[in-house]
């Protein structure tokens, strides 16, 4: 089945009849009516869909996440101006319950949504890692970065929630941290090597939190039950023989405390505070910019990612 319609071309009242990747499928209810709430994707973006009908409650149970399904419906906007697809077509439910569409070879490229420049970001981060002066630490960081790091998203929804998102977010974090150091006076006592290593590895545990399913990534049981900080600290232990105990302790502290005042452990070192601030800068600005891209000019709307009210300047 050819894909002839893309998410970027769906507006309010657009008749939707195309195939989309299903990233999430939940059962929800409003005013006593149950419906399937889906997050759909293609190479041009993401959109929510609400599927109503007699056996809509069955759909989230049987849909295979990361696979492609045919959806028929209409573009709608809710009271916050957020666009979604509404469908009460029996054919959509029939398609969802029947199983995913089989794609022809190469067609999966129509469904992989990522604005990140995967090759460029990977090369840039490797260059920064290679600038670590302490050889042991440099080798240690290089060992921790495997193929999962370059492919994985950084989140399901809040920021950098696409293929290659973790690498893009990590690159932004390390660049912000280094530029803060360069631009704030009298910071030469800060350990630049540790700032790079800590920034690059702060979210490394996320590589265990998402599984590649079909053509996309989905959060797994590790995401739900353990989360990335604990996984990151456990993971770096695999290579601990490469560095000193003091370096390991500092890195564990940076990973453990990188959520700042919101975390269980508050940063205690300048390097840990720097990584926390840089991490927040990258994630917050990304979520705000991506939310504003979906906000009409001259309007105020609560962003799905940032969960903040934002006004898109005219």
If the CB atoms of residues 16 and 200 are measured against Fe ion, the closer one turns out to be 200
Q: How near is the Cβ of 234 to Fe ion at its closest, in Å?
A: 15
Distance, in Å, from the CA atom of 68 to the CA atom of 56, rounded to the nearest integer, reads 18
Site for Fe ion in 242-301 (CB under 5 A): 279
Q: How near is the Cβ of 205 to Fe ion at its closest, in Å?
A: 8
Q: Which residues, including other chains, have CB under 8 Å from residue 94's CB and lie 6 or more apart? A: none
Site for Fe ion in 185-204 (CB under 5 A): 203
Distance, in Å, from the CA atom of 89 to the CA atom of 101, rounded to the nearest integer, reads 18
If the CB atoms of residues 279 and 294 are measured against Fe ion, the closer one turns out to be 279
If the CB atoms of residues 42 and 203 are measured against Fe ion, the closer one turns out to be 203
Q: Which two tokens stand for residue 79?
A: 């009271």
Q: How near is the Cβ of 183 to Fe ion at its closest, in Å?
A: 21
Q: How near is the Cβ of 240 to Fe ion at its closest, in Å?
A: 21
Distance, in Å, from the CA atom of 25 to the CA atom of 213, rounded to the nearest integer, reads 14
CA quadruple 122, 231, 154, 104: dihedral, nearest 10? 80
Sign (positive or negative) of CA dihedral 126, 173, 290, 145: positive
Q: CB–CB of 37/27 below 8 Å? A: yes
Q: What angle do CA 179, 180, 183 make, to 5 degrees?
A: 80
Q: How near is the Cβ of 275 to Fe ion at its closest, in Å?
A: 9
Q: How near is the Cβ of 53 to Fe ion at its closest, in Å?
A: 39
User: Which residue from 58, 51, 60, 47 is spatially nearest to 30, judged by alpha carbons?
Assistant: 51
Q: How near is the Cβ of 182 to Fe ion at its closest, in Å?
A: 21
User: Helices in the chain by DSSP H: which ranges?
Assistant: 59-62, 90-98, 118-130, 135-144, 147-151, 165-183, 192-201, 221-225, 228-236, 245-257, 270-293
Q: What angle do CA 260, 264, 265 make, to 5 degrees?
A: 60
Per-residue binding string, Fe ion, 203-222, x by CB under 5 A, is x-------------------
Q: How near is the Cβ of 255 to Fe ion at its closest, in Å?
A: 8
Distance, in Å, from the CA atom of 297 to the CA atom of 142, rounded to the nearest integer, reads 44
* Element spanning 73, H or E: strand 68-77
Q: CB–CB of 85/73 below 8 Å? A: yes
Question: How many chain residues are in contact with Fe ion, going by CB under 5 A?
Answer: 2
User: What residue ranges bind Fe ion (CB under 5 A)?
Assistant: 203, 279
């Amino acid at each position: 089945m050819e894909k002839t319609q893309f998410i970027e071309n769906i507006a309010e009242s657009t008749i939707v009849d195309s195939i989309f990747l299903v990233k999430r499928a939940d059962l929800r209810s409003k005013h006593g009516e149950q419906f399937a709430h889906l997050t759909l994707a293609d190479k041009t973006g993401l959109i929510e869909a609400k599927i109503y009908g007699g056996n809509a409650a069955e759909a989230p149970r049987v849909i295979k996440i990361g696979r492609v399904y045919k959806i028929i419906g209409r573009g709608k906007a809710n009271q916050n101006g957020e666009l979604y697809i509404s469908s009460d077509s029996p054919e959509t439910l029939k398609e969802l319950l029947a199983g995913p569409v089989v794609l022809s070879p190469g067609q999966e490229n129509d469904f992989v949504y990522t604005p990140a420049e995967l090759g460029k970001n990977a090369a840039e981060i490797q260059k920064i890692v290679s600038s670590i002066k302490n050889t042991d630490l440099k080798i240690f960081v290089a060992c921790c970065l495997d193929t999962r790091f370059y492919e994985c998203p950084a989140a399901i929804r809040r920021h950098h929630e696409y293929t290659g998102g973790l690498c893009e977010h990590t690159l932004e974090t390390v660049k912000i941290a280094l530029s803060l150091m360069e631009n704030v006076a009298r910071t030469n006592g800060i350990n630049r090597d540790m700032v790079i290593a800590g920034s690059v590895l702060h979210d490394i545990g996320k590589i265990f939190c998402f599984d590649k399913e079909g053509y996309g990534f989905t959060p797994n049981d590790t995401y739900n039950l353990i989360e990335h900080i604990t996984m990151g600290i456990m993971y770096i232990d695999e290579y601990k023989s490469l560095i000193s105990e003091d370096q390991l302790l500092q890195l564990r502290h940076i990973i453990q405390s990188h959520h700042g005042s919101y975390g269980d452990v508050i940063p205690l070192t300048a390097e840990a505070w720097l990584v926390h601030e840089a991490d927040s800068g990258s994630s917050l600005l990304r979520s705000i910019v991506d939310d504003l891209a979906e906000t009409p000019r001259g309007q105020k709307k609560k962003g799905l990612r940032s969960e903040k009210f934002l006004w898109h300047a005219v």
